[in-house]
Amino acid sequence: MNEDKALYPPVDPVMTGIKGLCPRCGQGKLFDGLLKVRPACGSCELDYGFADSGDGPVVFVILIVGFVVVGAALWMEINVNPPLWLHFLLWIPLATVLSLALTRMLKGVLINLQYRNNARPGEIDRG
């Protein structure tokens, strides 16, 4: 995974993750579609087989989007008191769009941080 790291200048894992770029070269695309990780980088040919973000990004997305949407919906209910159909019309699409966008960004950041810190699954030494 880091055998030829010296050939590439270090990239900022947070900014390249937010933009969805390769953790090694910072040029190639990380995602193939909305949330699916590509098999390898198109520029430097880094194998993305190490990339496993798991449920980490989704937990943060649920907390952040839930806080924003529920807070805004409560504020609107107290100050404006709109009908229920308007709440559905506003908050369901907003929560969906925010969740997808934030999941992509946080998944990219987590994969970039995994590469930079050479993160691997835990191992138990029984020898």
In a domain, 46, yes or no: yes
Residue span of the structural domain in which 15 resides: 5-116
Answer yes or no: is 55 within a domain: yes
> Residue 124: inside a domain, yes or no?
no
8 pLDDT tier (thresholds 50, 70, 90): confident
Q: Is residue 54 part of a domain?
A: yes
Residue 122 belongs to a domain: no
Residue length of the chain: 127
pLDDT band at 53 (very low <50, low <70, confident <90, very high): confident
Report yes or no on 68 lying in a domain: yes
Nearest to 11 by CA among 40, 46, 49, 57: 46
| Whether residue 81 has pLDDT greater than 60 | yes
Q: Would you place residue 6 in the very low, low, confident or very high pLDDT band (cuts 50, 70, 90)?
A: low
In a domain, 127, yes or no: no
Domain count across the chain: 1
Note whether residue 23 is domain-resident: yes
Q: What is the pTM of this model?
A: 0.81
CA angle 87-88-91, nearest 5°?
75
